[in-house]
Structure 1
Amino acid sequence: MARFAILLGGDLTVTPRLSRQIDGARVIAADSGIRHAAALGVVPELWTGDFDSVDDGMRAAHARVPVELFPREKDQTDGEIAVDAALKRGATEILLVGAFGGARADHAFLHLTAGIRLAENGTDCLLTSGNQEGVPLLSGERKFDYDDRTMFSILPFSDLGGLTLAGAKWPLCARTVPFGSSLTLSNEVAGELAVRLESGRAMLVAHPVSSFRM
């Protein structure tokens, strides 16, 4: 299995969990995502994008990282270019690091949809900011290692059929959830969290190190 971490320009908090997740992964930085490299203790094998968010200090600090420069007027985001580069290098698992937050809500939303597309195409995907994680959900069952009381939500990206939640404060059994419903927001882990979905697509967003409550 070839695991790649894509450094994106969103928020990042380095946690022991995140450090374990990226351990041994090959790293590609997308534009200003290079700023996370030092905090994570990694050296990217490629730095790609149009560099419209890169300053002279970043260039100097990472002068030895190979660069693939793209024009500003292009039909892909820097993050998508980095993901494509990982796939061309044989990635079977992709961590989108810095996928949440930042100044561009549209980019953060695109990262969610990109994660689902990767999963649909057979590439395992995890989105993370350290404080938040996103895992695409397609038909089938997945189990998670979150501690009790970890807050999580399931965001439907279509109508969901046969959604079952076990190991949750508010469990569900073969429930239909319409697209846009808030039914599956702000749940909590209570035991071993398992999610089963018969049809549809969704994103599980969890807060593994946060005490945040809605």
Structure 2
Amino acid sequence: MRILIAGATSALGHATASALLEAGHHVIAIGSNADRLGLVDATEHFECDLTDADAVLALAEQVGEIDGLVHLVGGWRGGGGLAGQTDDDWAWLEARVVTTLRNTTRAFASAIGRSEAGVIAIISSTGVERPTAGNANYVALKASAEAWLAAVGHALRATPARMVVKRVKALVSDADRAAQPEKDFSGSTDVAELAAELAGEFIATPTAA
């Protein structure tokens, strides 16, 4: 299967690309930083600003048909109660969490709908279930992303495509543990474990790269 990873340069992006490659898939890594993107183990690499709708449409023309989209663009800002939920933080998060998802799904949904086993997967937050004042901007936008994905699913309801939401509290990598050996990461999801879960969503027989 041809699977596009949006936001492939994060620790989870690296782990997911490796897991998908190991499973025999054709992995298309997308990121906005060419140097970091080149470090991702993938079949193809494309540099693109996913907040730019026109750039994403041009990317879709370059990439062609795909079977899946794994949306990993994100980030976190918060704290400080409701007073700490600044407009700058909202705009920063909205561009990454929602705008990139809107742009990529609008550009690639039709292709995924044509696949015999299409999948669009996003990472959300367990905080959506229990919002807090200090996390209000973040969880409100994660909830918006889930709602948008549900709407994409409605648009593709006549196709085999599936929408997948993975909710996590936080992510942790081996590099995080090494950098902060004193920190308690209990409750965090290991990026390698989540990458394996994401790869497991793509169960059709892989096509030749």
TM-score (norm 1): 0.38
Higher RCO, Cα 8 Å, sep 6+: 2
Rg: which structure is higher?
1
